[in-house]
A and B are shown apart, each in its own frame.
Chain A
């Protein structure tokens, strides 16, 4: 089983729609969580960190459920520019080091 799992998509939704992604992780000791977006042939860019209490940044809302070991990303009023691959990222702590684990990404395509 992968340490971080995401639905690869693609999700194809109309502009203005609300879309949600989930991501599950296997290590219950995972410390921190992030969502990144990656545009085609570009580097990943940090979208937002995910906190236990949930957090919102404009049209984007991230939630963490430690009991069920999943994180989610909700995008409201989607724009054409939201089309990208969204990467779920988990930071695990192993003895004296930490390790970032990337999900394989969920592709989102917004259509006019």
Chain B
């Protein structure tokens, strides 16, 4: 079946502009996660969705970052007034659920964001 998909695969934006990154999880997966991968910080958790709710937003680095999920499926990560330090690969993952032992997370190919 289809895996997690993300769009765009690459995004170059000017400092100060807003960007939206999209994630389509695996069909039937109720849990969705956003992570960020950068050279200096490694792989960092950003936010978790169960259905359309986000019970854990603890990893969002600032109030310029927000995310939503609609219909228990597609999620959008929005970064407002982008800064150069936002440059990174943004990874989305989904799993059947969150708390159970068999709930492995499956990752998408990522969106490489470059802020110039």
Q: Is chain B found bound to chain A in the same assembly?
A: no
Instruction: Name B residues whose Cβ lies closer than 8 Å to a Cβ of A.
Output: none
Task: Please give the residue numbers on chain A whose beta carbons come within 8 Å of chain B beta carbons, in ascending order.
Answer: none
